[in-house]
C-alpha cells in the first residue's frame, strides 16, 4: 500500500515537473513564461531585423499586441519574456512542428495544405497577390502577361503556385531563398517580375533604393494571413483569435497598417473590420 502511495506521489511530481499540473497543459502557449515568436527578417514594413538585431514591422507589432492582450486577459504571466526569431517561408511548418517557435506571424497565408501540418489563428489581415516589375517594363499588366517570363519562386512560399499551378500560366521559375533575394534579382535583370502579396511588394517598393521598381496594381488572389501555431494548441489558437477580435474592435490593427503602409499607396480600406476566422481545428 505504502509503495503504491509513494508511486502515485512520484507520478504527480513528474506531471507537475512536465508542466501538466494545475497550471495547465504544457502543449499550449497559454501560461508560458517565455515565448519564441517567428517573424520574417527581411521584408521591410512587415518583418525586418535591423542591424542591432531588433525586429520591426507590421507583423512584429501584431505579435506584440497579441502578447499584450494575452497578458491583460491573464493568459500569460505579466513578466513573460518574448524573443523573436527568423521564420523564412521554407521553415515555418518545421519550426512549429518541432516547437522551436511558439507561434508565427510572418506573411503566412492560411492554405488547406498547411492546415494538415499546423493550426492557424486569424486571419488578422487579408492581403492580395500582385506583381512587381522594373519601372520600364510596360509589357506586364496582369497575371496572364507573366506567361513565358522569368518569375522569382521562393522556397516554401505559395506565390509561384498561384500563378503556375492554380492558373496554369507557364512561367520560368527562378528559385530563391527569400523575397529580399527576389528583389535583388529583379534589379539585376535576373527575373522579369516578382509576384507575391501586395503588402510585401509595397514594403519593398517604398524603400528609397527601389525607386526603379513599380507595383503593377493587378491583384488576383486573397491571401489570408494567419498566426501559425502548433496543430494541437487549440487553447492557444482560440486565445489568439480573441486577441485579434479585440485588436480590430479597438482599432489597433487598422492603426498598425496605417503606421507601416500608410505612405505606400496601398489600399487599406478593406482592413477596418475583423476578417472571417478560419477556426482552430
Ligand atoms: N503569403 C504567401 C505565403 O505564405 C507569400 C509570402 C511568404 O511566403 O511569406 O506563402
Among candidate residues 117, 134, 108, 123, the one with its CA nearest the CA of residue 46 = 108
Q: Is the pLDDT of residue 19 over 70?
A: no
Nearest CA to ligand 1 atom 10: 157
Q: What is the pLDDT of residue 222?
A: 95
Asked if residues 106 and 39 have their Cβ atoms less than 8 Å apart, the reply is yes
Query: How do residues 122-178 score in pLDDT, each as one tens digit?
Result: 999 999 999 999 999 999 999 999 999 999 999 999 999 999 999 999 999 999 999
Q: What is the pLDDT of residue 242?
A: 97
Q: What is the pLDDT of residue 214?
A: 96
Answer whether 160 contacts ligand 1 (Cβ < 6 A): no
How far does the centroid of ligand 1 lie from the alpha carbon of residue 225, in Å?
A: 9
Q: Which one is predicted more confidently, 25 or 181?
A: 181
Q: Averaged over 46-61, what is the pLDDT?
A: 98
Q: Which atom in ligand 1 lies closest to the alpha carbon of residue 225?
A: 1
How far does the centroid of ligand 1 lie from the alpha carbon of residue 273, in Å?
A: 22
Q: What angle in degrees, to the nearest 10, is found between the helix axes of 58-72 and 252-261? A: 160
In the chain, pLDDT over 90 holds for what percent of residues?
A: 84
How far does the centroid of ligand 1 lie from the alpha carbon of residue 104, in Å?
A: 12
* Environment class of 107 (CB within 10 Å of its CB; exposed 0-12, middle 13-18, buried 19+): buried
* Environment class of 123 (CB within 10 Å of its CB; exposed 0-12, middle 13-18, buried 19+): buried
∠ CA 15-38-74, nearest 5°, is 50
Helix (H, G, I), strand (E, B) or coil at 59: helix
Amino acid at each position: 500500500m505504502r509503495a503504491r502511495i509513494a508511486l502515485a506521489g512520484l507520478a504527480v511530481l513528474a506531471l507537475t515537473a512536465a508542466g501538466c499540473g494545475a497550471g495547465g497543459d504544457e502543449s499550449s502557449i497559454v501560461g508560458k513564461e517565455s515565448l519564441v515568436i517567428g517573424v520574417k527578417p527581411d521584408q521591410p514594413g512587415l518583418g525586418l531585423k535591423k542591424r542591432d538585431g531588433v525586429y520591426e514591422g507590421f507583423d512584429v507589432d501584431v505579435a506584440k499586441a497579441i502578447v499584450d492582450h494575452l497578458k491583460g486577459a491573464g493568459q500569460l504571466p505579466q513578466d513573460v519574456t518574448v524573443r523573436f526569431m527568423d521564420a523564412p517561408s521554407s521553415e515555418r511548418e518545421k519550426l512549429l512542428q518541432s516547437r522551436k517557435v511558439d507561434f508565427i506571424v510572418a506573411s503566412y497565408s492560411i492554405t488547406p495544405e498547411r492546415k494538415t501540418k499546423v493550426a492557424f489563428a486569424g486571419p488578422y489581415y487579408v492581403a492580395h497577390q500582385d506583381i512587381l516589375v522594373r519601372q520600364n517594363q510596360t509589357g506586364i499588366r496582369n497575371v496572364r502577361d507573366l506567361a513565358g517570363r522569368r518569375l522569382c519562386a521562393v522556397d516554401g512560399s505559395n506565390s509561384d503556385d498561384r500563378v503556375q499551378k492554380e492558373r496554369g500560366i507557364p512561367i520560368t521559375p527562378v528559385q530563391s531563398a527569400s523575397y529580399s533575394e527576389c528583389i535583388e534579382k529583379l534589379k539585376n535583370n535576373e527575373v522579369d517580375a516578382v509576384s507575391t502579396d501586395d503588402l510585401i511588394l509595397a514594403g519593398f517598393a517604398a524603400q528609397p533604393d527601389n525607386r526603379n521598381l513599380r507595383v503593377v496594381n493587378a491583384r488576383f488572389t486573397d491571401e489570408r494571413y494567419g498566426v501559425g501555431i502548433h496543430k494541437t494548441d487549440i487553447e492557444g489558437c482560440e486565445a489568439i483569435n480573441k486577441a485579434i477580435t479585440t485588436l480590430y474592435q479597438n482599432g489597433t490593427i487598422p492603426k498598425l497598417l496605417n503606421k507601416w503602409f500608410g505612405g505606400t499607396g496601398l489600399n487599406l480600406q478593406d482592413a477596418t473590420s475583423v476578417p472571417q476566422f478560419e477556426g482552430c481545428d
